[in-house]
Amino acid sequence: MKKKAKKKLKKVVLIIFLIFLFCVIIYLFFFWKNQNRKNSICPSDAKLCPDNSYVFRTGPDCQFEECPAIEKREEEINNNIDWNLLILDIEKDLKKEFKDAGKNYPITIEKTEDITGDKIPEALVDLGNSGASTTNFTILRIENNKPVISKFKSKDGKILTMEFMSGGAGKYYNESVELDPLNKAVISGGYMIYGSSDDNCDYDAYVWNENSKFFEYNLELSKKITEKRCKELCEDSSIDKSLLQNICK
């Protein structure tokens, strides 16, 4: 019985030893593998992220770093848009759409303002084709991180790009175009007062429509702005009242 017990004990000890040896081998194998990974140099290729930034390989497995959170990066980009850096791309598009763009002088960014409510500023762009007393403008906005010419829905329902005029001859003739963030609109129009039957005072409002992605003519706002501006014109004490008789009735 004693011999059988000793034999059985030796067998158990051998099994335990083999299990221990197996565990040691497995441990050494993975330790060696990880050491080799740590000592290896990762490839120098880069990954382009959705926000146009780059990340590189790192860590023991040489995996690419995570791309920056899109929401955060978009907010940073939107708050730091420099329209002047986009001028070369803008010039190409404008010269295709407006045949006289850049004809008299360089195309420039006149003003930027967020009028669509998406925290990305739109741009009022001088087309560089103006005359002696007026300047011609159009409106550009950012779509998919690229500048695009804004589309307008006119009074008669047509979808088109628009060229707005600003300036005039003294205080008796004036045209203007404005970016109106309060109403999310482009306001254009003006007045002519020479004491003739052709005298007029009229303004158009084009309000941003998030669904259609157009600035659409808005009759109610157009009437409201026209009434306000024309009233101010009629109350201007520096203008000869006899010239206003066809407007201020």
- Do 68 and 86 belong together in one domain? no
Over the stretch 59-84, which tens digit does the pLDDT of each residue have?
777 888 888 765 444 444 455 688 98
CA atoms within 13 A on the CB side of 39: 6
Over the stretch 223-240, which tens digit does the pLDDT of each residue have?
999 999 999 999 998 888
Residues 198-213 have a mean pLDDT of 96
- Do 130 and 71 belong together in one domain? no
- Which of these, 33, 34, 43, lies nearest to 64 by C-alpha position? 43
Which range marks the domain in which residue 131 is found?
82-244
The reply to whether 1 falls in a domain is no
Residue 132 carries which DSSP code?
A: S
Query: Strands (DSSP E) along the chain, which ranges?
Result: 46-48, 54-58, 63-64, 108-113, 122-126, 134-143, 146-149, 152-153, 159-160, 164-167, 173-180, 185-192, 200-209, 214-217
Give the number of domains in the chain: 2
Cα separation, 88 vs 29, in Å, equals 58
The reply to whether 116 falls in a domain is yes
- Do 54 and 169 belong together in one domain? no
Q: Residue 170 corresponds to which tokens in the numbers above?
A: 């003294």
b/e map of 120-155 (b: 16 or more CB within 10 Å)? bbbbbbbbbbbeeebbbbbbbbbeeeebebbbbbee
- Do 91 and 71 belong together in one domain? no
pLDDT value, residue 77? 47
Last residue within a domain, chosen from 80, 111, 126:
80
- Do 108 and 48 belong together in one domain? no
- Do 169 and 227 belong together in one domain? yes
Cα 233 versus chain centre, distance:
36
Report field, pTM of the whole predicted structure over 0.75: no
Over the stretch 177-201, which tens digit does the pLDDT of each residue have?
999 999 999 999 999 998 888 899 9
- Do 143 and 40 belong together in one domain? no
Rg (CA), the chain: 35
Residue 147: pLDDT over 90: yes
- Do 76 and 135 belong together in one domain? no
The reply to whether 9 falls in a domain is no
- Do 117 and 74 belong together in one domain? no
Over the stretch 3-40, which tens digit does the pLDDT of each residue have?
556 566 666 666 776 777 767 677 666 555 555 544 45
Last residue within a domain, chosen from 80, 110, 128:
80
Phi/psi at 222 (nearest 5 deg)? -60, -45
Cα separation, 122 vs 124, in Å, equals 7
- Do 104 and 151 belong together in one domain? yes
Is the model more confident about 242 or about 128? 128
Q: Residue 64 corresponds to which tokens in the numbers above?
A: 């690419």
Element (H, E) at 22: helix 2-39
Q: What is the 3-state secondary structure (H, E, C) of 38-57?
A: HHCCCCCCEEECCCCCEEEE
Is the model more confident about 216 or about 194? 216
Q: Residue 135 corresponds to which tokens in the numbers above?
A: 């300047």
The reply to whether 54 falls in a domain is yes
Farthest-apart Cα atoms in the chain, separation: 136
Last residue within a domain, chosen from 61, 80, 99:
80
- Which of these, 122, 124, 123, 125, lies nearest to 105 by C-alpha position? 125
